[in-house]
Chain A
Amino acid sequence: MDPLILGDHQFDSRLLLGTGKFADLTTMLDAVHRSGARMVTVALRRFNRERIEDDLFEPLSRLPDVLLLPNTSGAMDAREAVLAAQIGRELTGHGLVKLEIHPNPHHLMPDPIATFEAARELAADGFTVLPYMPADPVLAKRLEEVGCAAVMPLGAAIGSGQGLATAHLLRLIIENSTVPVIVDAGLRSPSEAAAAMEMGCDAVLVNSAVAAAGNPGGMAAAFAEAVRAGRHAWQAGLMGRGETARATSPLTAFLGR
């Protein structure tokens, strides 16, 4: 057992799955199942009696051992994010929240100042705060200091599939963090998830990479294996890089030379 620990919660999977952008509910539930994720993110939406099928509370809350992690997407500032977190707590009955404030729909970059302000208020109010953030080692430390249970730096822009564009900054965040680091956003392929885990990330969150795949269930399973492989590799310790070749076979005493 190698649990991911977030506040008072433990999870036996290091892959978190988002539930957006799936073609239909059946496909999404199959992907959740095959991902082995123990935590799936959900968004808040106004109730609409004309679109009852969009209400995911009932189908998702029936999944055994899967915790619903509400996000604050749609919040334009810290005040709205705090209210969204309170709504999420009311709906799910727990205080884990993925804090995300990205007011610009063009690039969806998180607002670092509003994120910090909301994180400080929510952590003081007893929430287990998981902030989506730019890959900024200074901000990561500040968020840790105000009581966040993890930090969630982006690999690349949401839904972009650009992979670990921020790898050099993620390394700095991992080196300095005393809370779990969850790479969130931008990943496209399982190999990128494995690379993030080999680097020492504690978990990975993907959504578009699975939802937009040709076979979402198959891709969810592939990500699950990649995250496990990357974690095992990090635990085993990668060899160092060298500038020159180092032989793996003896180069002498062959055929009489």
Chain B
Amino acid sequence: MKKWNKKGGDKVMTLYWFAILFLVAGAIVYMTALYYGKPYDIREIEANFLTNKVADCLSEGGRLVDNWRDIKTENFLQKCGLTFNVEDTEGWKAQEQYYVEVNFRKFDGSSVEKESIIIGNKNLKDFCDKEGVNLPVCSEREFYVLGPRNIGGEDKLKLDTDANTQYIIKIKSIVRKTEKNVQ
């Protein structure tokens, strides 16, 4: 009788240990999945890349590019080699995921006879002054630059009349893509 009881107790303990083992292993798997299952939010980096790309498109060597006045909203993406195409997922095609706004002003604060470049989903702008994880990420940065140096042609030292004009260019880049960066 005593022997039988011992065997029964061992069986119960074995079952118990297996139950605990599965419980602990399951919890560890669940926690790992919970942590690593969340996507990395790279939108800030993407917005920064976009800003850099726009800045590179408009200026070179501390000066505006020669054809900067020809870069307009209509031809901006083409001239700067950008595309706002996104994957056809989460309804992204229906709602643009990017917004870029470029404003030009003179260093002394006066305005420039050049229209701002505005392209992308304008609705995203409204979220920039709000805080929250599930909102689009905004990047707004400025840089100082001089007018273009050359007026073209063979005489590279001949200067544009704009050559010593000082500009501040403000670039606002917004990236939405919330579904794939935040959960």
Task: Decide whether A and B assemble into one complex.
Answer: no
